[in-house]
Amino acid sequence: MDQCAIARGGNAKAGDEPGRREMASDVSRAVLAEGTVELPVLPRVAQRVMVLANDPDGSVTELAHVLKHDPAFAAHLLRLANSPLFAAKSPIVSITQALARLGMRQVRDFALVISMRAGVYSVAGYEADLEELFRTALVSALFAQEVARSRRLGVEEAFLAGLLHDIGEPVALRLAVEQVSKTEDPRTPAARERIWASVRELHGPIGADVVRAWTLPEPLALAALKHHQQYPLEPLTQMVAVADALTRCALLRCTCATGEAHVPDASEATMEALNLYPEDMMALVERGPELVAAAGAA
């Protein structure tokens, strides 16, 4: 199958065929039979950053104080602030300077990036897969941000929605690996196939649960839950659906027979709702290599 054909899958995930669903069901049922799903918890410093950044009365001074009391977290934050993810025009050398240049909301977003990479995208035996999933999340965040910017919509919320829309994948992966490990080696090809099928099946609802557990706004949870639906109704979910398609195309480096970049399909309703035209999508596609490089350097 050529890369354009893969990209033309729209919002459907590979493996959504009935046979794959049946294969997933035994692992998924076992995960769900456990009852309460253990969700990842944000580190204390990230929790404080989230609270202060979302508080209209939150103080930059207080936020700087919180960050300076966790040197490792502060070092990660400065590294991100100086990465292509932010594209700073000159070096950022202190937390105070980072807050002044980035703003509290951007620092909040970077705090989530740091926490997700360290605490969520970690499953023994699946390190390479999770590194790729994390890079995909970052590219999706950047594409969602660009879609929002082109439509003059909320850029910060779009970045978060893109970052978090597949947060259920690493959590579902951990749960599926734990279940399969009870009876077999989870690293065999057959076990991996069943595990990934379960991840595709469960990641939406689990992702929404994670977003809600982190007390983030409900539209972000709906984006995690519904972005694979053919006709999502919420504007933020629509942007994430488009960003998801653009990300998969960018990572596949989609080209058609002519050698030109392929414009991913999106439902007519979603395109119309966002007032996106083919030339708008092509402009976004052309940003792909730049955004992929920025995510890889983060």
Domains observed in the chain: 3-13+128-297 (1.10.3210.10)
At 233, the pLDDT band (50, 70, 90 cuts) reads confident
In the chain, what is the straight-line distance between the N-terminal and C-terminal CA atoms, in Å?
32
Tell me the pLDDT of the chain averaged across its residues.
83
- CB within 8 Å of 184: residues ≥ 6 apart: 191
Q: What is the DSSP letter of 262?
A: P
User: What sign for the dihedral angle of Cα 79, 81, 87, 90?
Assistant: negative
Question: pLDDT of 35-85, one tens digit each?
Answer: 777 889 888 899 999 889 888 888 889 999 999 889 989 999 999 889 887
**pLDDT tens for residues 257-268?**
444 555 666 667
* Long-range CB contact pairs, 29-36, < 8 A, 24+: 30/179, 31/172, 31/175, 31/176, 31/179, 31/198, 31/202, 32/202, 34/175, 34/179
Write out pLDDT tens, residues 72-119. 899 999 998 898 877 777 899 999 998 888 888 889 999 999 999 888
What pLDDT does 237 receive? 93
**Cβ neighbours of residue 117 under 8 Å, at least 6 residues apart?**
134
**pLDDT given at position 157:** 92
Could you say which DSSP state residue 18 is in? Answer: H
Which pLDDT does position 16 carry in this prediction? 40
Band (124; pLDDT cuts 50, 70, 90) = confident
Closest CA to 7 of 219, 198, 259, 246: 246
Q: Mean of the pLDDT values across residues 239-248? A: 91
